[in-house]
Amino acid sequence: MNLKFSNHIYEEFMKNIKRHFKNSNSSIHKARNEIKIVCHKNEELVIKSFKIPHIINKIVYTFFKDSKAKKSYQNSLKVGQFAPKPVGYIEFRKFGLICETYFVSSLFKYEFTIREPLTNSSFKDKQNIFEQFAMFVYSLHQNNILHLDLSPGNVLIQKEQDRYIFKIVDINRMRFKTLSLDDRLKNFDKLWAKDEDMTTMIKSYAKISKQNESYCIDKAIYYSQKNKDFKNFKKRLKGIKVVD
Ligand SMILES: Nc1ncnc2c1ncn2[C@@H]1O[C@H](COP(=O)(O)OP(=O)(O)O)[C@@H](O)[C@H]1O
Ligand SMILES: [Mg+2]
């Protein structure tokens, strides 16, 4: 067993994570991984239980690479206020190999994700949300943070008076380095944004970063289209219907 927590108040909770996870009825997301909310000493926590890796990856995560739970925790510590507060992570082994892993963070009470304004063309205040989102991404970039999976479900948004508060989740894959303009523009490619919405975001991004607006828009749309084409190509290969 390998365990780390941000504060000793979480030690017992983390050690009993399997029980807490099993006993919670509030599953908020279930795909590859499952996410549940649990209440611990009046604090609402989010437990992410990662899909058990197949045998090859069990070996990889045990001997060669950090587990996704460990990466999520370490990256949360690095990015600070940009993500929900980290609580801890724990890895369990079976026959000496890493098997079940959990990452815990505090619940961020978001009202919507960036998916809603991206998919609903009449979403209230959508222009403003995109502009503020561009500023948020800019400040990540200025802090040398690159979220490698900046997809719509990974951007949580809360409204506070006239401004929006953004948090990134699903942060096991990140890079920390000085970013070129192309790295920055490419970072918007997984949002699956319509050209019109991408233009709104990138206009704002170009303005605060004092870059040429039309160059930035063209590049961002180019990367986004490349990502859409690639994903659609993979879907067609699998015989799945393509939406965009
Ligand atoms: N700390 C958190 N606070 C609130 N909601 C969260 C938190 N972490 C995850 N979620 C919710 O769970 C969803 C999936 O989490 P994520 O880490 O992206 O899992 P996956 O790897 O399966 O995509 C998010 O889109 C969000 O709705
Ligand atoms: Mg996600």
What pLDDT does residue 240 have? 84
In the numeric block, the tokens 């807490």 are attached to 20
Distances (CA, A) of 212 to 3, 163, 181, 215, 216: 47, 26, 11, 6, 6
Residues 6+ apart with CB under 8 A from 226: 189
Q: Which domains does the chain have, with CATH numbers?
A: 2-106 (3.30.200), 112-238 (1.10.510)
3-class secondary structure, 44: strand
**176 secondary structure, DSSP code:** E
Using the atom order of ligand 1, give the atom closest to the CA of residue 106.
1
pTM of the model: 0.95
What pLDDT does residue 77 have? 98
Ligand nearest to the CA of 151: 2
What pLDDT does residue 242 have? 78
Q: Which of 26, 27, 29, 108 to mutate to test the pocket of ligand 1 (most atoms within 8 A of CB)?
A: 29
Residues flanking ion ligand 2, Cβ below 5 Å: 153-154, 170
The pair of structure tokens assigned to 167 is: 């948090």
Q: How many CA atoms lie within 13 A of 182 on its CB side?
A: 2
3-class secondary structure, 124: coil
Distances (CA, A) of 18 to 23, 88, 136: 9, 14, 35
Q: Tell me, in angstroms, the distance from the centre of ligand 2 to residue 32's CA.
A: 10
**228 secondary structure, DSSP code:** H
* CA–CA separation, 181 and 196 (whole Å): 21
Q: Is the CB of 33 under 6 A from ligand 1?
A: yes
What pLDDT does residue 176 have? 98
- Ligand 1, atom 16: closest residue by C-alpha: 170
10-residue stretch averages of pLDDT, the chain, 244 residues long: 95 97 93 95 97 96 97 98 98 96 98 98 96 98 98 97 95 98 98 98 98 98 96 89 72
In the β-sheet with 112-113, what is the strand arrangement from edge to edge? Answer: 112-113, 155-160, 163-168
CB-based burial label for 36 (10 Å; 0-12, 13-18, 19+): buried
* CA–CA separation, 220 and 138 (whole Å): 14
Helix (H) or strand (E) holding 88: strand 86-94
Q: Which of 114, 169, 173, 191 to mutate to test the pocket of ligand 1 (most atoms within 8 A of CB)?
A: 169
Residues 6+ apart with CB under 8 A from 213: 202, 203, 206, 207
What pLDDT does residue 244 have? 66
Q: What does 55-86 look like in DSSP terms, one character per residue? A: HHHHHIIIIIS--HHHHHHHHHHHHGGGSPPE
